[in-house]
Structure 1
Amino acid sequence: MSASIAIAEQRPLLIELLTEELPPKALAALGAAFAASIEKSLRENALLADDSATTSFATPRRLAVRLDKVLSQAPERPFTEKLMPAKIGLTESGEITPALAKKLQAKNLGHLTAAELIRESDGKQDVLFATGVAPGAILAETLQAAIDQAIDSLPIPKVMRYQLADGKTSVRFVRPAHGLVVLWGGDVLPAQALGLQSGNVTQGHRFLGAADIVIRDALSYESQLREDGKVIASYQKRRQAILDQLNAQADALDASLGEGDEVDALLDEVTSLVELPAVYVGQFDPQFLAVPPECLILTMRLNQKYFPLFEPEGGKLTHRFLIVSNMRIDDPSNIIEGNERVVRPRLADAQFFYETDRKEPLAGRVDTLANRVYHNKLGSQRERVERVRDLAVHIAGLLGANTAHADRAALLAKADLNSNMVGEFPELQGVIGAYYAAADGEPDDVVLAIRNQYQTRVDAPVTNASLTSAVLFMAERLETLAGIWGIGLAPTGERDPYGLRRAALGLISAYEQLHAGGFLKISANALDLDALLAYAVCLFPAGTLSADTAAQVRDFILERYRNQLAAQHERSVVDAVLAVNPPLHQVQSRIQACAEFAGLPQAASLSAANKRIGNLLKKAEGSQTGVDAALLVAPAEQALQAAIEAVAPQAQAQFEAGDFTASLATLAQTSGAVDTFFNDVMVMDDDPAIRANRLALLGRLHQLMNQVADIARLAQ
């Protein structure tokens, strides 16, 4: 650092690492992590002003950060250092012992004398402390560690090893690095990284900018790159510039970019591929629009990084697309024509695959699934299809759905796996099968079921038109959960290669939306989860799955539901409801009922009493009988019996009708009698008959109270 720099002077700091092209899908994360790590290190060393702002830069060939108020040296800070007990650190005459001298030297406090140490009691003995003022960290001395930490902590998807210019040394990084800029104001601070020494020279756009750009100071970095280097260094500014150009071109053509996460993901990716974006319009032969649009959209977005354009009304695909180029030039005709030449064979391939596949009906591909392994322990996809068919017909029968259509949808659901189109574009599973089924004249609900089978969840109330979809959706997930779990492939930690967590949540969503659509009455349980899982397990050859698969999968599904619900409701309420293993479509209503019950004035005492009753019944398990009115001798137990008999019929009727809120409110009327009973009655009476009778009375109340939920779990 220059000798002219004053202590505690404040300037902006710039650090840039120039590299070869970085992985586009990781660029945004790498840029953010690099900036955050440098900021964290400097702040921990008190080298940043409180109001210092941090700006992150990331382009395909650089990671950089600018911090606008960085101190040359951090302020001094007072310290108190605990040393050791006084009896060990000082001699009888008060001199420093060798042990303490060694300790002081290790802490760079060897200059202190015994008189300068503080002696205080910690409640057990006298302890020696050193106090003083420590000098603040010096930027030039701590910066290297900050850079090293930032590089080491980058979320690099895949590290590569490359050799440095000396031909001997090799380093590991995400891509070869070619330059390191470290500027504090206009001064270069000494640092090194990946075999590079810091300087003030960077590079511009590969084709449009200056090869070498001398950065004047940290504040001029962004403007110099823009003006001399033809590079928009800020990731966010570059992204916004691309979006603005895309929207302008789409508006000029009276078109739309479309909607959904795919558009945002593509925008992020192209932002990571260009340094000076320019958007141009391309087009393809309209004849290709005869191919299912998903095929054309996928190949343009996935393979070519183009933005397909859609009609603003109805969203129909047009024959135009937008190209995000890294070359902003006056005459882009060569760029446009080149991209149009490149995309044509891609679209022609899609057209060929589609027309070739259409020569055979979708149903004709089903038997070829016998040649495709589902899992070596679970057989082929053809065998799996038969299990899903059986489940689909069973579920359709329980719901009163069209069993023939459910069977047909399950038969055809996986038939497109051996099509040319899915072989080229695996992402089109189900989608292309639905097109082929429609072309074959399959029923509309069968076509919809094939198309929707890979959705993450059922996201709208089920209708008559979508009932077959819901049936296939459930059947496929039940088969997956039972089979994959049953052969010992349950999720572990973050690993869930077969998507069992997703399958469980999807199954839950089907129950919710079947109920929302009126196909699962709140007062009934047409689709008992335990029964469905047991049915699914029986479809596999004997000995294939572990014996307790159904129970384990049931618990797994409920645990996934518990985690989902706990984000929306009180955990105690969720636990209370799920503890009684309710039908899945009743869970939300029961949670609402418990939440309202918890707000009643009687809730606390009833919950506590319920917990107490449960403990008593556990201790006396097996000794309960029916209630004998003749043995109810105490007025309090007679009053409790009368209270139960008064509310039980109504509470039971309300429960069976699915009015859980009203059922709990009715049972809350017993609160006074319950409190009096526990105040006045000794349950565990010496007389075995009276004791058993009282336990039976409490058991009757416990059974009524815990139909909706385990009320004891609401007790604080």
Structure 2
Amino acid sequence: MTIQNLLVELFVEELPPKALKKLGESFAATLVEQLRAQGLAAADSQVTAFASPRRLAAHVTAVSAQAANKAVQQKLMPVAVGLDASGNASPALLKKLQALGADVTDPVAAVAALKRAPDGKGEALFYDSVVTGSTLVVGLQKALEEALAKLPIPKVMQYQLETDCELPGWSSVNFVRPAHSLIALHGAAVVPVKALGLTAGNSTQGHRFEAKVSPLVLAHADQYAEVLQKDGAVIASFVERRADIVRQLQAAAAQVGGGVRPIEDDALLDEVTALVERPNVLTCQFETEFLDVPQECLILTMKANQKYFPLLDAAGKLTHQFLVVSNITPDDASSVIGGNERVVRPRLADAKFFFDQDRKKTLESRVEGLSKVVYHNKLGTQGERMARVCAIAKAIGQQLGGDALAQQAELAARLAKTDLLTDMVGEFPELQGIMGTYYAKNDGLSDAVANAIGDHYRPRFAGDELPSNDIGVVVALADKLETLVGMFGIGNVPTGDKDPFALRRHALGVIRMLIEKDMALGLPELLALAAPVFGNKITDPSVLLIDFIYDRLSGSLREQAYSPQEVDAVMALRPARLGQVGEFLSAVRAFAALPESPALAAANKRIGNILKKAGEVDAHVNVALLQEDAEKSLHAMMQRLLPESEAQFKAGDYTASLQTLAALRGPVDAFFDDVMVNAEAMDLRLNRQGLLKSLHVAMNRVADLSRLAA
């Protein structure tokens, strides 16, 4: 059996750059997965993915020319169906064997070759056969078709191929881009597979302008990357090409000097890697007068429109120089540099023009314009939304900081969305909030209010910074609560993986602010402030929304270092102040580590079940009705420990509060060993239930400890 390395390459027109990395990874992964499934590639076969602007390829080690034969046992039918009373084959059995290719000329011998084995309630007949291993031609054809079918193509295009037959005509092909050639090499041998109207060969194309040879002919599968780089001027590996760009960017920045560094942006780096076949980094510059424009505007236009890498100084401030990743390497790069500088200048001029024009109008003068912008057909305009956010922000600010904070938060909320009406944000929506901060400062507003305008979108994503001041926190909370309450109130609830209004992200933002800022506001209290501002536009969604937010919090905590049991124990009580959740979890973890914990958790679960069956129980104990020594001992210990535990709880020492209760293990165990809770005498039963109710309340202030029981 011949074992060689395999190379498959599909050469196409320029692929969509933002999708190239995933396309390359998917193509290689599916190809090797299918080859392994057919026994053509070993479990330890290594696959190397290649992806450049005009090619997808994969190199797989240790691929067989033919898979090994495989023994297969197939269930035929129950014995009662396949054999008659004399043990002879039934017509149904003979027909089944014939369909499988078995020799049935001698029915007795055919039956003798079968195996009988228990199958459920009875016996069944099984047929053993050997399946011939797939050849590489057949197996690779299947693997290639599967790899192409599973490509995460963002948008399919249709193109025509001239038919290869006597009658002239055209056939349609659906693929991400028109394909021009296909390589399939098993060692030095061509594997004659077909795809997209192409038949595999051993030749491809190199760089459009700088290849030394055209076409490039490969003598062996292992020569692919070397031949492409040496003769084709192409770095075929996406990973290697990306690393080369990073190295060149850093070298170019070092040559500029002054401690400058290229901006860090993985998405931009991936996109540029997908645009070039052999990168060449060049240093360019623009006029320093453009630096008067906020650097976020200049950086965005250079990255988004031109795919340039701006250079920042040691303090993170934009310089007038930038780096270009060119796809050609001329002897004299001055024309390439000059061309890029000419191209970027109008873009920066547009940004400067927008900035200058926007500053001619105050943000306050734009407030009225929000009433002309539709927010949602059921929730009104942006003006109506702004009024709701203002009302919520004022109410939250009043609760947290009195009149001063309420007034500042209301002002910031009133102006927070006005930059949506500016030319700059109209051109670059990503700058909303950021431009509002600049324009607010230009209007003479305080830094605190101006920064709150920009911060009210935070946190924008997982790990993003929270608003920098109290005003920003209040407005950000109000903005996210308005979105959540409004959308839930009209029935726009996330389902499955669909969340068009990013409500999960908004919920996590609310959670992070309440926890990390340790805000003295409970979640139900916040929703009670937000829901009334909608009037009759919505149905109050508080119950559903609270469940949604607690679910998001539980999921977030499970992704951290906490066990599911710890999270369930704390979240079962739905703590109103989310800022206490971390301390509750720490206390539960410390309690769970105590030797008394398992027994007390189990007892707590038992107590909960007893009280649940009992219905409404008053947490009151009549000492005169305590008869058994075990219940007297438990009551006495509770009288000593519960006040201490409660005082520790009120002081915020939740760990000590739970650990104090750990001393109850012995009395609790003795109580359940010696005392009949549901005594026949009603007064004794109610008194003992009252004793357990008092204990249950004390034990479950921090968390539902029964969730820790195995």
TM-score when normalising by structure 1: 0.93
Q: Do structure 1's residue 160 and structure 2's residue 163 form an aligned pair?
A: no
Take 1:15 and 1:193, find their aligned partners in 2: how far apart are those partners?
11
2:418 paired residue number: 415
1:523 paired residue number: none
Contact 1:101 1:110 in 2 (8 A): no
Take 1:242 and 1:600, find their aligned partners in 2: how far apart are those partners?
55
Contact 1:118 1:130 in 2 (8 A): yes
2:528 paired residue number: 534
Q: For residues 386-401 of structure 1, what are the structure 2 equivalents within 5 Å?
A: 386-400=387-401
2:341 paired residue number: 340
1:552 paired residue number: 544
Contact 2:263 2:310 in 1 (8 A): no
Contact 1:459 1:509 in 2 (8 A): no
Q: For residue 284 of structure 1, what is the amino acid of its counterpart?
A: F
Shift of 1:110: 3.7
Q: Do structure 1's residue 89 and structure 2's residue 89 form an aligned pair?
A: no
1:220 paired residue number: 223
1:4 paired residue number: none
Secondary structure at the aligned position of 1:113 is classed as helix
1:449 paired residue number: 452
How much is the aligned-residue C-alpha RMSD, in angstroms? Answer: 2.0
Equivalenced residue count is: 694
User: Which of the residues 416, 430, 442 maps onto 2:433?
Assistant: 430
Between the aligned residues of both structures, percent identity stands at: 49
Contact 2:280 2:326 in 1 (8 A): yes
Take 1:665 and 1:257, find their aligned partners in 2: how far apart are those partners?
53
Take 1:258 and 1:577, find their aligned partners in 2: how far apart are those partners?
46
Q: Do structure 1's residue 16 and structure 2's residue 9 form an aligned pair?
A: yes
1:588-637: per-residue Cα shift (whole Å, max 9, x none)? 11011111111212212221221122122222213536322222222222
Secondary structure at the aligned position of 1:544 is classed as coil
* Higher deviation after alignment, 20-29 or 395-404: 395-404
Secondary structure at the aligned position of 1:282 is classed as strand
User: Which of the residues 558, 576, 582 maps onto 2:569?
Assistant: 576
* Higher deviation after alignment, 161-170 or 640-649: 161-170
Shift of 1:165: 2.3
Secondary structure at the aligned position of 1:655 is classed as helix
Take 1:106 and 1:405, find their aligned partners in 2: how far apart are those partners?
83
Contact 1:462 1:514 in 2 (8 A): no
1:258–1:639 CA distance, 2 compared to 1 (3 A): farther
2:633 paired residue number: 639
Take 1:535 and 1:198, find their aligned partners in 2: how far apart are those partners?
68
Shift of 1:459: 6.2
Contact 2:617 2:693 in 1 (8 A): no
1:351–1:37 CA distance, 2 compared to 1 (3 A): same
1:593 paired residue number: 587
Shift of 1:201: 2.1
Q: For residues 56-205 of structure 1, what are the structure 2 equivalents within 5 Å?
A: 56-90=49-83, 95-110=88-103, 113-122=110-119, 125-166=122-163, 167-205=169-207
1:474–1:688 CA distance, 2 compared to 1 (3 A): same
Shift of 1:452: 1.7
Take 1:323 and 1:127, find their aligned partners in 2: how far apart are those partners?
71
* Higher deviation after alignment, 359-368 or 428-437: 359-368
Shift of 1:119: 3.5
Shift of 1:93: 5.7
User: Which of the residues 642, 657, 666 maps onto 1:663?
Assistant: 657
Q: For residue 592 of structure 1, what is the amino acid of its counterpart?
A: S
Take 2:182 and 2:463, find their aligned partners in 1: how far apart are those partners?
50
1:82–1:320 CA distance, 2 compared to 1 (3 A): same
* Higher deviation after alignment, 577-586 or 289-298: 577-586
1:379-413: per-residue Cα shift (whole Å, max 9, x none)? 22122222222222222222227333222221221
Contact 1:430 1:450 in 2 (8 A): yes
1:506–1:83 CA distance, 2 compared to 1 (3 A): same
Take 2:483 and 2:647, find their aligned partners in 1: how far apart are those partners?
38
TM-score when normalising by structure 2: 0.94
Shift of 1:704: 0.9
1:461–1:302 CA distance, 2 compared to 1 (3 A): closer
1:687–1:298 CA distance, 2 compared to 1 (3 A): same
1:704 paired residue number: 698
1:414–1:341 CA distance, 2 compared to 1 (3 A): same
User: Which of the residues 47, 51, 70 maps onto 1:54?
Assistant: 47
* Higher deviation after alignment, 147-156 or 474-483: 474-483
Q: Do structure 1's residue 362 and structure 2's residue 363 form an aligned pair?
A: yes
* Higher deviation after alignment, 72-81 or 662-671: 72-81
Take 1:106 and 1:35, find their aligned partners in 2: how far apart are those partners?
37
Q: For residues 285-324 of structure 1, what are the structure 2 equivalents within 5 Å?
A: 285-311=287-313, 313-324=314-325
1:440-486: per-residue Cα shift (whole Å, max 9, x none)? 222122122122222226969989x6222222221111111111111
Shift of 1:709: 0.8
Take 2:652 and 2:116, find their aligned partners in 1: how far apart are those partners?
73
1:5 paired residue number: none
**For structure 2, which runs of at least 5 residues remain unmatched after alignment?**
164-168
Q: For residue 187 of structure 1, what is the amino acid of its counterpart?
A: A
Shift of 1:325: 1.1
Take 2:696 and 2:84, find their aligned partners in 1: how far apart are those partners?
73
1:328 paired residue number: 329
1:98-146: per-residue Cα shift (whole Å, max 9, x none)? 3223222333334783333334455854433333544322112221111
* Higher deviation after alignment, 97-106 or 176-185: 97-106
Contact 1:625 1:692 in 2 (8 A): no
User: Which of the residues 676, 686, 689 maps onto 1:682?
Assistant: 676
Q: For residues 606-621 of structure 1, what are the structure 2 equivalents within 5 Å?
A: 606-621=600-615
Contact 2:263 2:312 in 1 (8 A): no
2:246 paired residue number: 243
Secondary structure at the aligned position of 2:440 is classed as helix
Take 1:453 and 1:151, find their aligned partners in 2: how far apart are those partners?
44
**For structure 1, which runs of at least 5 residues remain unmatched after alignment?**
1-7, 521-525
Contact 1:461 1:513 in 2 (8 A): no
Q: Do structure 1's residue 491 and structure 2's residue 494 form an aligned pair?
A: yes
Take 1:123 and 1:491, find their aligned partners in 2: how far apart are those partners?
44
Take 1:109 and 1:675, find their aligned partners in 2: how far apart are those partners?
71
Take 1:229 and 1:495, find their aligned partners in 2: how far apart are those partners?
45
* Higher deviation after alignment, 143-152 or 616-625: 616-625
Shift of 1:92: 5.5
Secondary structure at the aligned position of 1:181 is classed as strand
Secondary structure at the aligned position of 2:458 is classed as coil
* Higher deviation after alignment, 279-288 or 404-413: 404-413
Shift of 1:301: 0.2
Secondary structure at the aligned position of 2:477 is classed as helix
1:72-94: per-residue Cα shift (whole Å, max 9, x none)? 11223333333333443345665
